[in-house]
Structure 1
C-alpha cells in the first residue's frame, strides 16, 4: 500500500522552494514598474511630513555590511512612520569628497597620477564617484529600500557646492570665521590632511615616567608647614615626548594631597597613591615623613619650574 496516497495533505499553488535569487529581482522590478514609492507618497499627501535626510555614505566602492545595515534600519523607520500615518520622505545622498575616494583613485591611477594636474585628478575623482553612486544606488534598491533614488543629493553637484560656499560666506560675514593655527594629522603618502577618525593607532608598549616640578612660588605662604623645604610636585605621564611642551599641572580640586619628605626632598603626591608612588620611586625602604595634607585647590595658581628649561 502506498501510504502517501492515504495522507490528506494541503494543496497550494505556492512553490516548494522560495527561489529568492530569481523571485526578488522580479518583485523589485514589479514595484519599480508600479512606481510604488511615488504612489505611497501620493496616498500620503497632506499628512504630517516626516523627512529622513540621509547621512551619506562615501561613493568609493560597493556597499558593505555596515552601509547595508544603516540603510535597512533607516528604511524600517521610514516605512514605520508611513504606516503610522505620516508622509514619510527618505532623501538618499552620497559624500563624493574626501580621503576614501582619493585613496581609491590613487590606487587606480598608480604611477599615472604623477604626470596629472590637480584638475585632471579631480575630474577623475568625479567620474569615479559618479560610477559608484550608480552602483550603490542599485545595490540599495536591491535591498528593497524605498526613497528618492532619482533625486538624491550629491556633495559634488555644482548647486550643492555653491550652497556650501554661500553658507560659508554667511558665517564669514557674521564674524564666525577666523584665521588661526592648529596642528592636523597629515598623510605623507596621499599628501592630504587626515581627520581624527581616519587615524589608526598601532598597539604599542611604552614606558611611563614620573617627573618632578619644583615650585618657584613661595608655597610656604599657602602651607606654612612647608617653609624652608625643597618642594616639588610629581606628575605621571605615558607620553614622555610631550614633556617639553608642558605648560600646566592639573590637580583635582577636592582630592587630598600629601607633602612627603624623603631623603631631604618634599614631594606632593595624591594621598591615596602614596604607597604606590613610594614603591614606584624606589623609596619603599626609605624613611619618610608626611609634613602636610591639603586639597588640590590649595595650590591653585602657584608656579613651578619646568624641569628641562
Structure 2
C-alpha cells in the first residue's frame, strides 16, 4: 500500500488539516479587538469615497435570534467588501431602546406604569433593561465577527 501512497501528488501546505474554529475563532476575534483592526481600517480609509450602510436597529428587548444574525452578517459582508474596495465604509451599530417591546417586558416584571409603579421608576427600569440587552446583543454580534464602532453606538 505504501507504493500507492507515493504515487499521489497532493499539495503541501502549512495549514492544519482541521480548522479547529471553536478554539481559533475566539483568539482571532480577540486579536482584532486588541489590535483595533476596525480603528486601523477607519484611519486607513479616511478621506476615501464614502459608503454608508444605514442599518435599521434591532429592539433591545432580548437575545439575538437567527434573523438578527443573518441580518448583521450580511450587512457586515457588504461593509467589509466596500472597505476592501477602497471606500470609507464605517459601521455604527445602534439599538431601538424605546417603545412597546421593552415596556411589555418590564411591565411583566414590575407592573404597569402609573398604576402599580410610579412612571419615573418604570422609565428607569426600562432604561436599565434596555441597557443590559444592548450589552448582551453587542457581545453576541462581536462574537459573530461583525466589525463596527461598538463602543460608540447610537441608542
TM-score range, shorter chain: 0.7 to 0.9
Q: 4+ residue stretches of structure 1 with deviation over 6 A?
A: none
- Tell me the number of residue pairs that the alignment of Structure 1 and Structure 2 aligns: 151
CA-CA distance at 1:150 after TM superposition: 1.0
Query: Is 1:7 the equivalent of 2:1?
Result: no
Other-structure match for 1:61: 62
Counterpart CA distance in 2 for 1:152 and 1:32 is 16
**After the TM superposition, which residues 170-209 of structure 1 pair with which residues of structure 2 at under 5 Å, given as runs?**
none
Query: Is 1:149 the equivalent of 2:147?
Result: no
Which residues of structure 1 form unaligned runs of 5+? 155-309
Kept in 2, the 8 Å contact 1:53–1:92? The answer is no
CA-CA distance at 1:123 after TM superposition: 0.4
With over 3 angstroms needed to count, the CA separation of the structure-2 counterparts of 1:118 and 1:14, relative to structure 1, is same
RMSD between superposed Cα atoms in Å: 2.1
Kept in 2, the 8 Å contact 1:56–1:94? The answer is yes
Other-structure match for 1:42: 43
Which residues of structure 2 form unaligned runs of 5+? none
With over 3 angstroms needed to count, the CA separation of the structure-2 counterparts of 1:107 and 1:148, relative to structure 1, is same
* Residues 208-249 of structure 1: CA deviation (Å, up to 9, x unaligned): xxxxxxxxxxxxxxxxxxxxxxxxxxxxxxxxxxxxxxxxxx
Other-structure match for 2:82: 81
| Structure with max Cα Rg | 1
CA-CA distance at 1:20 after TM superposition: 1.5
DSSP-derived class of the 1:134 partner: helix
* Residues 135-174 of structure 1: CA deviation (Å, up to 9, x unaligned): 11111111111111111100xxxxxxxxxxxxxxxxxxxx
**After the TM superposition, which residues 1-309 of structure 1 pair with which residues of structure 2 at under 5 Å, given as runs?**
3-4=1-2, 7-8=5-6, 12-109=13-110, 115-154=116-155
Structure showing greater relative contact order (alpha-carbon pairs closer than 8 Å, 6 or more residues apart): 2
Structure whose residues are more often strand by fraction: 1
CA-CA distance at 1:72 after TM superposition: 1.3
DSSP-derived class of the 1:7 partner: helix
DSSP-derived class of the 2:53 partner: strand
CA-CA distance at 1:14 after TM superposition: 3.0
Kept in 1, the 8 Å contact 2:59–2:96? The answer is yes
Kept in 1, the 8 Å contact 2:51–2:82? The answer is yes
With over 3 angstroms needed to count, the CA separation of the structure-2 counterparts of 1:91 and 1:115, relative to structure 1, is same
